[in-house]
Amino acid sequence: MTMLADAGPDEPAASWRIDRLGVVIALLLVVALALPFATFRATRIASGTGLLLHEALPAPAAAAAAAALVAALAGAVTLRRPALRLAAGVLALVALALGVGAAAAFLTPADNPYARIAPGSGFWVGVFAAAMLVTDAMVRLRLGPAGRLIALAMTAALIAALLASGAWSRLSLLAEYRSRADVFWREANTHVILAAGSLAAAVAVGLPLGILAHRVRRLRDPMINVLNVIQTIPSMALFGILIAPLGWIAANVPGAHALGIRGIGMAPAFLALFLYSLLPMVANTIVGLNGVSRAVVDAARGMGLTGLQRLFQVEMPLALPVILTGIRIVLVQNIGLATVAALIGGGGFGVFLFQGLGQTATDLILLGALPPVALAFAAAVVLDAVIEISGRGKP
């Protein structure tokens, strides 16, 4: 299940026909134009007033943004070539991104530093519609792995440029970030360590376990069953349950406390993520090794390769795409689950998310929710490309 790569069978293109998907997207863009483009709040947690596009921007800018959106809307309905549809979608996204930044700068009163300007519902509906248009065009373009990586890199560069240029600096989300920039990067670091560290540990343990279960048939079912049960336990429950044994170890095993093992904090979160990661790693290793044809293994044996040589030079390389798929599942899952770690003091982006929920501060919620979403998405695109490249030229 490669994102943006598995286009369905193409139907024969009629010479002229209204594109129904385009109509849906165009209707969404009309709805977007009719909804508030930006929200003005006197303080960060005050309730907001919605402002339509022409109220949120000076007249020339509002006209330009509206023209870009209408052009994209017309393109969605009439254009059939994927590259042109992609251009229409990108045009809409850029207009929305620049427009919302400009609206924030325009609406911020000079005498009230506490006023907050956030994107309104119209902005979000517009982004959703434009993203659908872009996604559909990308699927139809059938980009190869390199093309998808380049598209991802360009998107990241564009967002970085928007952030660095100050075009968004008046937006409430960035005001929220500025007032806690150090903490943000510290928690970002924790989040990545939790997600990637537990993945590394799961690879180190899961691969040998998978190889063992592949060799010793009797172990396979019990091992998978136990890991399946662990995977089923809700994250908050597993985090909670692990607090008890780790707390006991910290209190009773000499030296454990010095190693950073605590009842609450990163240790139970890390351990829980590691346990969740084992099932995809072990199961995919078994499936990958099972998929290696007997003939290949026999040929390797005939060439005089020892058991270990066969494993590392023949079987593992052939099983690699399936094992990488396991790694993709684990990484995407862990980036999401690491967000929950904040509930037990484990840190990560969840700190902002749950603080934001506690204070009913929407911007803070976004500050905690958007980075893991972006990270998980990027990880999925990158690993999908790697999986596709690793699978080339293999039976």
Partner 1 sequence: MIRDTIRPGTILRVLVLVALIAFLVAPERFAGLLAPLTTNNAPPIYNQGSLVDLTLSHLFTVAISTLAAAVVAVSLAVFVTRPAGREFLALSRAVVNIGQTFPPVAVLALSVPAMGFGEAPTRMALFLYGLLPIFENTLVGLSTLPPAVVEAASAMGMTGRQRLLKVELPLAMPLILEGLRLSAVIGLATATIGSTVAAKGLGEVIIAGLLSNNLAFIVQGGVITGVLAVLISDGFQAVARQAAKKSGTRPQTET
Binding string to partner 1 for residues 5 to 44, with x set by CB under 8 A, is what?
Answer: -xxx--x-------xxx-----------------------
**Interface positions, 259-278, toward partner 1 (CB under 8 A):** 263-264
**Interface positions, 209-238, toward partner 1 (CB under 8 A):** 224, 229, 232-238
Kindly indicate which of the ranges 94-102, 153-161, 302-310, 372-380 contains the residues binding partner 1, using the contact rule CB under 8 A.
Answer: 372-380
Which residues are within 8 A (CB) of 221 and not within 5 positions of it... i.e. 6 or more apart? none
Cα(147)–Cα(31) distance, integer angstroms = 32
176 binds partner 1 (CB under 8 A): no
Closer residue to partner 1 (CB): 140 or 310: 140
Work out the number of other CB atoms within 10 angstroms of the CB of residue 265. Answer: 18
Residue 214 near residue 243, CB atoms below 8 Å: no
Question: Per DSSP, which regions of the chain are E strands?
Answer: 38-41, 49-51, 116-119
139 binds partner 1 (CB under 8 A): yes
Q: What is the dihedral of CA 103, 104, 110, 112, to 10 degrees?
A: 130
| Closest approach of partner 1 to the CB of residue 325, in Å | 12
Cα(206)–Cα(162) distance, integer angstroms = 41
The helix/strand/coil state of 41 is strand
**Interface positions, 329-358, toward partner 1 (CB under 8 A):** 332, 335-337, 339-340, 343-344, 350, 353-354, 356-357
| Closest approach of partner 1 to the CB of residue 42, in Å | 17
Residue 148 near residue 139, CB atoms below 8 Å: no
Query: Amino acid identity, residue 111?
Result: D
| Closest approach of partner 1 to the CB of residue 62, in Å | 25
Q: In this chain, which of 132, 152, 203, 212 binds partner 1, going by CB under 8 A?
A: 132
Closer residue to partner 1 (CB): 44 or 310: 44
Closer residue to partner 1 (CB): 305 or 388: 388
Cα(59)–Cα(69) distance, integer angstroms = 15
Q: In this chain, which of 145, 368, 385, 387 binds partner 1, going by CB under 8 A?
A: 368
Closer residue to partner 1 (CB): 14 or 110: 14
Cα(267)–Cα(63) distance, integer angstroms = 54
| Closest approach of partner 1 to the CB of residue 103, in Å | 18
Cα(255)–Cα(252) distance, integer angstroms = 9
Count the residues of the shown chain that bind partner 1, applying the rule CB under 8 A. 63
| Closest approach of partner 1 to the CB of residue 168, in Å | 18
Closer residue to partner 1 (CB): 215 or 306: 215
365 binds partner 1 (CB under 8 A): yes
Give the HSE-up count for residue 42: Cα atoms under 13 Å, Cβ half-sphere: 2
| Closest approach of partner 1 to the CB of residue 108, in Å | 20
Q: Where are the alpha helices (DSSP H) in 35-120?
A: 53-56, 59-78, 82-107
Which residues are within 8 A (CB) of 328 and not within 5 positions of it... i.e. 6 or more apart? 379, 380, 383, 384, 387
Closer residue to partner 1 (CB): 45 or 303: 45
Of 289, 284, 290, nearest to 327 by C-alpha is 284
User: Which residues of the shown chain bind partner 1 in the complex (CB under 8 A)?
Assistant: 1-4, 6-8, 11, 19-21, 132, 135-136, 138-140, 224, 229, 232-241, 243-244, 247, 263-264, 283, 286-287, 332, 335-337, 339-340, 343-344, 350, 353-354, 356-357, 360, 362, 365-366, 368-370, 372-373, 376-377, 379-380
